[in-house]
Amino acid sequence: MDFVQQNIWLILLAVISGFMLFGGGLRGRLSGVKQIGPQEAVLLFNHDDALVLDVREPSEWADGHIAKARHIPLRQLKDKLGELEKYKDKPIIAVCRSGNRSSHACGVLKRAGFQNLHNLAGGMQAWEQAGLPKERK
């Protein structure tokens, strides 16, 4: 008990750090959105005919994107949900630069009734680091 009293700030710091490290993954699991890496995304795309939904801005899209990805900037997603209705029963992989905006996009899709949602953890940065190709069409 003396240890706890003497080191309460260190214990609180450790608890807060742990929550920050693992809280995002837990939040994703509770929300029904799976965080996946680039290799899992490739498998979903190739084997399960997943839709890759790129929610970056047009300038980011023009700099390079995943082949056959569908581009709808996050700010337009709510207005264009009707265009995605035919994908409601298919896996959707949301992509942005780092994984933050695509996580938000998954929330928008979840609230609209989409169920099979995946967020590319690390976004296009992780895709590029994995050495996977981009196209600029």
- What are the pLDDT digits (tens) for 120-135? 999 999 999 999 999 9
Asked if residue 61 and residue 12 are part of one domain, the reply reads no
> In the chain, which ranges are E strands?
33-36, 51-54, 70-71, 92-95, 117-120
Q: Please indicate, yes or no, whether residues 77 and 27 belong to a single structural domain of this protein.
A: no
Q: Which two tokens stand for residue 81?
A: 């949900």
**Both 124 and 106 in a single domain?**
yes
Determine the Cα–Cα distance for residues 85 and 83; give it in Å rounded to an integer: 6
Indicate whether 72 and 52 sit together in one domain. yes
Q: Is residue 134 part of a domain?
A: no
With bands split at pLDDT 50, 70 and 90, how would you rate the model's confidence at 22?
low
Q: Is the pLDDT of residue 10 over 90?
A: no
pLDDT of residue 86: 95
d(CA 28, CA 34) in angstroms, rounded, equals: 6
Same-domain status, 17 and 46 = no
In terms of domains, do 68 and 117 share one? Answer: yes
Please tell me which residue in 93, 96, 106, 126 is annotated as part of the active site. Answer: 96
Q: Which domain range does residue 108 map to? A: 32-129
Tokens of 7: 């080191």
Q: State residue 49's pLDDT score.
A: 93
Residue type, 126: A
**pLDDT of 45-80, one tens digit each?**
999 999 999 999 999 999 999 999 999 999 999 999
Q: How confident is the model at residue 29 (pLDDT cuts 50, 70, 90)?
A: very low
- Average confidence score pLDDT of the chain: 89
Examine residue 7 and state whether it is found in any structural domain, yes or no.
Answer: yes
Residue 23 shares a structural domain with residue 50 = no
- Which pTM value belongs to this model? 0.78
Tell me if 136 is assigned to some domain: no
Q: In terms of pLDDT, which residue wins out, 78 or 18?
A: 78
Q: How far apart, in whole angstroms, are the C-alpha atoms of residue 136 and residue 42?
A: 18
Q: Round to whole Å and give the CA distance between 26 and 135.
A: 33
Annotation marks residue 96 as catalytic:
yes
In a domain? residue 120 = yes
Residue 30 has pLDDT above 50, yes or no: no
